[in-house]
Amino acid sequence: MQLAGFSIPDNAMLHAGAAVFAGSLFFVKGFRDLRTLRRIENTPTCKIRSLPMGSVEVIGTAEAEEPLVAPLTGKSVAYYEVRVEELRSSKNGSRWVTRHHEVENPPFHVRDETGRVLVLPDGSDAHLPEAYRFQDNRLGSVPAAVEAYRDSCGVRTGFFRGTYRFREWHIGIGEPVYVLGVAQDRPDLRRERTHRVTEKLREIKSDPAQLQRFDLDGDGVVSNLEWDRARGQAVSDVTAEGVEDRVVIARGSSGEMFVLSSRDERGLVGSLRWKAFGGVFGGGELFVGGIAYLAWSLGGM
């Protein structure tokens, strides 16, 4: 492109367009982080024993009945995420492209000094520090854990292949965990209670002594009315026994914020503050700079 006696490189326009696109993405992400930061700062921390229903913030340590094994670090964890990325080059520069992404997020418990609560992390916005990174330089040796994981996900590395990096994030068992979500009845609570009532009624049917207890007129037959009394007794027994994990913290049905982090609140707030500042101001400057360059270039054509 020729402008007033000098030329603009053809790829300059592409770079300006890329700056506009990237700037808009960074700005939106930064604004989202700022919104999350404000919500965290304005939400009081609840003790698990006195957890109210609705939007809550809890801080404790992670527990799991059946801990996971993080594939790259080998640690005992309640949650992990792994990415395998390939470095690809183009005329606009190099960038990392995800070749494999895995998230294991089964329910786990958070415990504080007053009790514990079940967390259903599916759908959460996880803010986790990177726990492990290995970049394959095609010359050095590959750690055994990385090699095993690479083979399991079908990624092939080597001297004549691309450059790869392997990254892991996790929430370790016994480590701090921060949760901002919605305290609610466990989704399958009604189904579990119904199942337990059904099991108790099945026990009554198979036990002549229990059946005789509900045969109030002593005619040897449990009538419909008498069976209703047996059902009522089963419901009362299940209610008296209680149900473990009646209340859980999970994603809300109305789009409420659901944040999960292995940092304490202070560390999470500090991380979000830097991300929000960089995204809003840095992304905004990148966007405005790209627009200004495009306007100047097109105006001089």
pLDDT in tens, 229-267: 878 877 777 666 655 678 999 998 887 889 999 988 877
User: CA nearest 41: which of 183, 174, 178, 184?
Assistant: 178
Structural domains in the chain (count)? 2
Do 87 and 216 lie in one domain? The reply is no
Do 167 and 50 lie in one domain? The reply is yes
Whose structure tokens read 């415990």?
111
Q: Is the pLDDT of residue 169 over 90?
A: yes
Taking the C-alpha atoms of residue 291 and residue 139, their distance in angstroms, rounded to an integer, is 43
Do 199 and 271 lie in one domain? The reply is no
Question: Residue 201 corresponds to which tokens in the numbers above?
Answer: 């009624």
Do 141 and 68 lie in one domain? The reply is yes
Contact 230, 160 (CB under 8 A): no
Contact 131, 168 (CB under 8 A): yes
Mean pLDDT of 176-190: 86
pLDDT for 176:
93
Do 50 and 75 lie in one domain? The reply is yes
Domain containing 200: what range? Answer: 189-241
Do 109 and 138 lie in one domain? The reply is yes
Between 290 and 261, the more confident residue is 261
Do 196 and 179 lie in one domain? The reply is no
Do 253 and 279 lie in one domain? The reply is yes
- What percent of the chain is modeled with pLDDT above 90? 35
Q: Which of 241, 257, 272 is the last residue of a domain?
A: 241
Do 178 and 33 lie in one domain? The reply is yes
Taking the C-alpha atoms of residue 182 and residue 39, their distance in angstroms, rounded to an integer, is 13
Question: Residue 180 corresponds to which tokens in the numbers above?
Answer: 């901002």
pLDDT for 297:
65
Question: Residue 20 corresponds to which tokens in the numbers above?
Answer: 């506009």
pLDDT for 249:
95
Do 108 and 146 lie in one domain? The reply is yes
Do 169 and 193 lie in one domain? The reply is no
Contact 111, 48 (CB under 8 A): yes
Taking the C-alpha atoms of residue 267 and residue 22, their distance in angstroms, rounded to an integer, is 27
Do 123 and 92 lie in one domain? The reply is yes
